[in-house]
Structure 1
Amino acid sequence: MTFGRAVIAVVLVLGGSPVFAAPEVRSLPATPLAAEIAERLAGPGDVPGDVVVAERTLDGGSLRTLYESRNYSPLWLADGALTADARSLVDLFGRAKGEGLEPHDYYVAELAGPLASTSAAEAELLMSAAVMRFATDIQAGRFDPGRLGEDVDYERKDVPGPAFALIAAASPEPARYLTGLAPDSPAYDDLRGILAEYRALAAAGGWPAVPDGPTLEPGDIDGAQTIALRRRLAVTGEYVSTLVGPPAPAYDPALVEAVQRFQSRHGLETDGVVGPRTRRALNVTAEQRIDQIVATMERWRWLPDDLGDRFIMVNLPGYQLRIVDEGRPVRDMDVIVGLADRQTPLFSSRLTWLEFNPTWTMPTSIAIKDYLPKLLDDPTYLRSHGFRMFAGWHNDAAEIEAAYLDWEAIGEGIKYFRIRQEPGPSNALGKVKFMMANSFSVYLHDTPSRGLFSRSRRAFSSGCVRVQDPIWLADYLLSDTARWTGSFRAEVMGGWETTRINLDNPMPVHLAYWTAFRGDDGRINFREDIYGLDSATQTVLAEVRPNSAQIALLD
């Protein structure tokens, strides 16, 4: 592939990502502009480092790699001015807010005006730096996901900026090429539209707050609250007034239905009662919703570029699992995720095997936090709930009877005992668990605690994901496995013998965190930030792009 007469770099495509290989260049720069570019990039003692251009600090290493490969000839200037392609990119960068990004990060103010002859090299370097940064930001995100903590374990994408810059420069439509690096998902496309809609709402003044007051139930009379509710819900479309004359103070059926629509869109109990949780959601401002949308777009960029032809997506704050096949949803089901202090981690992996009628070996943290108090109250608890206890963690440790031990004296020493629950109706993992490689020992599984699925807030587990219909999911995953047939399936499902079955075709699974999305009915949905990752994302963005955060506040 050729990227212009002066380009001698090699760009390979391996696994969908370009790989940059720059052969050594020894000839002198061919033009005064090329010589100026080389001079601006020259570091003291030839030690690579950042480059300051127009008071902006640029990634000198990437710029040197790019321009050394082409003997410092420009990519974006001709006859002392930005080319038409470069101007189209500056226009794209000026519209970066549409992607949840900030124009300031791409040097729009410096590049949008006329160029003086002495600033040509600066404009060239700023353009390349902007292209490489935009490509990285829109494809991989603006920071390493691991900065949010050890429970976020997505692999940081390696974005070869120089290669992307060369491809963009050679593309007949460079702006389309760069925007095409964004996540290839209808859900991400939806977020673009949602962001535009909520920015328009914020620009129009947002919505009024609902005042504090007693819990409002259907039929109550409270003029201050009902008037505020009607105004609030009219802005976001849940309430359409049919009243003639001044609004009534009664919490009437039409307003109750509007509140229920709002509750449904926000993952709340759809009881029409305006209590503390619903009131908090009503009073989240338009600007705060914009932050949620931007944070969700940022997290989308952390997922693999290829989610898989078939895959499972688990949205933790939405408490939902979705199976997708060739871009089409196959089925949604509710899930139960980790408590706030025992968060289900975020990562991508593959389901590789299933275990029916599993045993459950109790993690030491759960033994101390959850089961030691039970044993203090009832030393026979383990035996009565199908557990066996062993004197140590080695395979030949002797089995001992928990009821005869002094748990007051042992206390946190419970961690030295191996406690295992045998297969059966009360087993914490239910009938089947779905295994995937990860560093957290987290998996999907059945549960005997079926009643918890009726709750709107379902953060109850110790980190694993409990699925609503595990038998359906097992049948779906094993549908192309010859072994999973009538008599064998009946034997496995009818008894309690532990049985492992490997998947002939492992299924990609992505544990994700979307607090803003469009539902299947087309309505915009928001969810509570159950693990504080929206606010954490915004905090890190303010740290890595402080100037952007300040300018965003002024917009």
Structure 2
Amino acid sequence: PALLPAPAIARPATAPLGRAQESLGTRVPAELAAAIAAAAKSDRDVRAFYAARDWRPLWIRGGRIVPEAGALLDLAATADADGLKPGDYRPKTLANALDRARDGSPRALARAEVLLSQIFADYVQDVRRPREIGMLWADQAVVPVVPNRTVLLRTAAEAPSLARYLDDQAWTNPVYAKLRAALAAEWGDPDSEPLLRLNLERARILPPADSGRRYVLVDAAGARLSMIEGGIVRDTMNVVVGKPEQPTPMLGGMIRFAILNPYWNIPPDLVRSQVAGNVLRTGLGYLRTKRYEILSDWSESPKVLDPKKIDWRAVAAGRRELRVRQLPGKGNAMGKMKFMFPNDMGIYLHDTSEKNLLTREARLFSSGCVRLEDAARLGRWLFGKPLVAPSAKPEQHVNLPEPVPVYVTYFTAAPEGQRIAFRQDVYKRDPALLARVRGRSFAAR
């Protein structure tokens, strides 16, 4: 794939400021506290933030505006790199307020202080507001929620270093931050800029680094899975995803349990196109070799049917639908385990008996589900211990004590180390969205 450097956006050198450098008990000069209260009077969210901290400033230290304010001004002025309008964040007004605050008067300092907090909260809210990109949500617990402005300010104030918090853009996620930096470097490029913008919208739905959350990220375009915690990629592995004609959907859910020694319930279209065809060509021995059994229905307690009594020509022709499942054990397509995030599309993550496919460069072989290079490794990360079936009993459910979000995404431009990789649009999802990017017509959810 084509690669571009992903440089960091330049920031002024700053001294760390945050919870470690300031005490909640620090007294604020009465005149400055009164000026902050007056400046925040008409903004309920910002006023609530300052009132809860006894009007103690976030952006003032030693009677001066901190250098970190310059980093925020830079973000506001370059908000078009976020698909936003810089004018909404008043960069000129902020620059003027910062200039006037140089005289050290409480009123000018308070005006700049409150304006910085307002612009920060408005900007971060808008960055965190997802657009319509075709993502399906199987669980309300993972639908992105835009925090209120008071919470955003409190999170920034509690960061060990405000400078690092701004520099890392910790209110976003690592994928978003690196794509934004690459977009700033590629500004105006007719080919890469729209693609970076599009994938920035796809990255917007991921949890922010400052949430500290654990989650699983599956990138179908790159056929890779990442285990992420607190904005840090802890582990990665190859995966096999859906064929172009059976694409893996963009889907968010919660991994709630694992199934050990799983059956493989063969999709009806494969029963018709493959199983029935093989039975007709090679005989019923095919079913024994594959360890397939024929079931009466899709209930939890189906009857096992005699394959000799099945009209396999009717099945192959689509006149009869049949439930076929593969028994657990050697050769089972599900391998030893699968990880379930309940959804209406029958998509899950699972082990596989076809490990050879995971070493190929293009890994587009499944019917939509995600096959794992090392299911046991993912299980250890999710559960904090090895997942081992205590017996050969089929379909052993193991609940995950704390469900973990999973985001099945599709990045045709994504960070790979310190670079951005541009990937083939194997599912042909980009053209319609690129038209919206060029027309600036992305709607918020």
TM over 0.5: yes
Structure 1 residue 536 corresponds to structure 2 residue 432:
yes
Alignment partner of 1:499 out of 396, 402, 418: 396
Residues 202-225 of structure 1: CA deviation (Å, up to 9, x unaligned): 6xxxxxxxxxxxxxxxxxxxxxxx
Counting matched residue pairs gives: 362
Distance 2:441 2:389 in 1: 58
SS of alignment partner, residue 292 of structure 1: helix
Alpha-carbon spacing, 1:536–1:403, altered in 2? closer, same or farther (3 Å): farther
Q: Of residues 345, 362, 369 in structure 1, which corresponds to 2:266?
A: 362
Residue 242 of structure 2 corresponds to which residue in structure 1? 338
Q: Residues 182 and 301 of structure 1 are in contact (CA less than 8 Å); yes or no, is this contact kept in structure 2?
A: no
Name the SS for the 1:344 alignment partner. Answer: coil
Q: Can you list the C-alpha shifts for 1:37-64, whole angstroms capped at 9, x where unaligned?
A: xxxxxxxxxxxxxxxxxxxxxxxxxxxx
Q: CA offset at residue 110 of structure 1? A: 12
C-alpha separation between the residues in 1 aligned to 2:228 and 2:152? 33
Aligned positions of 1:398-437 closer than 5 A: 398-410=303-315, 411-415=317-321, 417-437=322-342
SS in 1 for 2:338: strand
| Unaligned stretches of 5+ residues in structure 1 | 19-86, 113-129, 168-175, 203-285, 547-555
Contact preservation (8 Å) 1:151, 1:343: no
8 Å Cα contact 2:217/2:225 also seen in 1 = yes
Corresponding residue to 1:371 among 254, 275, 278: 275
Deviation per residue, 1:431-452 (Å, 9 max, x gap): 1111223332211111111111
> Contact (CA 8 Å) 2:194, 2:438: kept in 1 or not?
no
Report the residue type matching 2:190 in the other structure. E
- Where 1:413 maps in the other structure, the secondary structure is coil
Identify the residue that residue 138 of structure 1 maps to in structure 2: 127
- TM-fit CA distance, 1:366: 3.6
**Pairwise mapping of residues 173-322 of structure 1 onto structure 2 (< 5 A)?**
183-199=171-187, 287-305=190-208, 308-322=212-226
Query: Does the C-alpha gap of structure 1 residues 185 and 395 become closer, same or farther in structure 2, counting only changes over 3 Å?
Result: closer
Are residues 367 and 106 of structure 1, via their aligned partners in 2, closer, same or farther at CA, if it must alter by over 3 Å? farther
Distance in structure 2 (CA, Å) of the matches to 1:322 and 1:110 = 40
1:74-105 deviation line (CA, Å, top 9, x unaligned): xxxxxxxxxxxxx99998555233x2425488
CA, structure 1 residues 469+502, in 2 after alignment: closer, same or farther (shift >3 Å)?
same
Deviations 1:491-546 (A, max 9, x none): 54xx46443222233333222222223323x2332222222333332233456629
Change over 3 Å in CA distance of 1:2–1:418 after alignment to 2: farther
- The 3-state SS of whatever aligns with 1:442 is coil
Check if 1:441 corresponds to 2:346.
yes
Specify the alignment match of 2:409 in structure 1: 512
Could you tell me how far 1:302 is from its partner in structure 2? 1.6
- 2:39 is matched with which residue? 4
RCO (CA 8 Å, sep 6+): is it higher in 1 or 2? 2
Q: Is the 8 A contact 2:350 2:370 kept in 1?
A: yes
Distance between the aligned counterparts of 2:83 and 2:272, measured in 1?
Answer: 45
Q: Which residue type is aligned with residue 101 of structure 1?
A: G
> How far did 1:378 drift?
3.8
* TM-score of the pair, normalised by structure 2: 0.65
Q: Is the 8 Å Cα contact of residues 349 and 372 (structure 2) preserved in structure 1?
A: yes
Secondary structure of the corresponding residue to residue 215 of structure 2: strand
How far apart in 2 are the matches of 1:496 and 1:88?
58
Displacement after TM superposition at 1:297 (Å): 0.9
**What are the superposed Cα offsets for residues 186-206 of structure 1, whole Å, 9 maximum, x if unpaired?**
33222222223333xx6xxxx
Tell me how far apart the structure 2 counterparts of residues 443 and 464 of structure 1 sit (CA, whole Å). Answer: 6
Q: Is the 8 A contact 2:251 2:407 kept in 1?
A: yes
- Check 1:378–1:506 CA distance in 2 against 1; reply closer, same or farther (3 A cut): same
1:537/1:133 CA distance change after superposition, 3 Å: farther
Match of 2:28 in 1: none
Alignment of structure 1 residues 458-473 onto 2, 5 Å:
458-473=363-378
Whether contact under 8 Å (2:40, 2:47) holds in the other structure is no
CA distance in 2, matches of 1:108, 1:88: 14
- Structure 1 position 392, deviation (Å): 2.7
Give the aligned partner of residue 66 of structure 2. none
Correspondence for 2:79 among 89, 96, 102: 96
Using the TM superposition, give the Cα deviation of residue 6 of structure 1 relative to its aligned residue in structure 2, in angstroms: 4.5
Counterpart contact for 2:218–2:408, Cα < 8 Å: yes
Q: Where do 5+ consecutive residues of structure 2 fail to align?
A: 1-35, 50-69, 95-118, 155-163
Q: Which amino acid aligns with 1:535?
A: P
Structure 2 counterpart of 1:449, one-letter code: E
Distance 2:171 2:149 in 1: 20
Distance 1:298 1:369, change over 3 A: farther
Equivalent residue of 1:472, what SS? helix
Measure the CA separation in 2 of the matches of 1:538 and 1:190: 20
Q: How far did residue 406 of structure 1 move?
A: 2.8
Q: Tell me the secondary structure at the aligned position of residue 190 of structure 2.
A: helix
Cα distance in 2 for partners of 1:5, 1:330 equals 41
1:164-175 counterparts in 2 under 5 A? none
Change (3 A) 1:7 1:179: farther
> In the alignment, is the contact (CA less than 8 A) between 1:183 and 1:300 conserved in 2?
no
**Equivalent-residue separation in structure 1 for 2:138 and 2:195 (angstroms):** 18
Report the alpha carbon displacement of residue 338 of structure 1 after superposing the two structures with TM. Answer: 1.2
CA deviation after TM superposition for structure 1 residue 333, in Å: 1.0
Larger radius of gyration: 1
TM-score, normalized by length of structure 1? 0.53
User: Would the aligned equivalents of 2:241 and 2:366 in 1 still touch at CA under 8 Å?
Assistant: yes
Cα distance in 2 for residues equivalent to 1:538 and 1:402: 51
> Structure 2: how far apart are the matches of 1:3 and 1:436?
50
Deviation at 1:427?
1.3
**C-alpha distance in structure 2 between counterparts of 1:103 and 1:523, whole Å:** 27
Given the superposition, is the C-alpha separation of residues 437 and 448 from structure 1 closer, same or farther in structure 2, using an over 3 Å criterion?
same
1:334 Cα deviation from its structure 2 partner: 0.5
User: What SS does the aligned partner of 1:531 have?
Assistant: coil
Taking the aligned partners of 1:374 and 1:12, their CA distance within structure 2 comes to 71
The one-character-per-residue Cα deviations of 1:451-470 (angstroms, maximum 9, x if unpaired) are: 11121111111111100011
> What secondary structure, in the 3-state scheme, does the structure 2 residue paired with 1:287 have?
coil
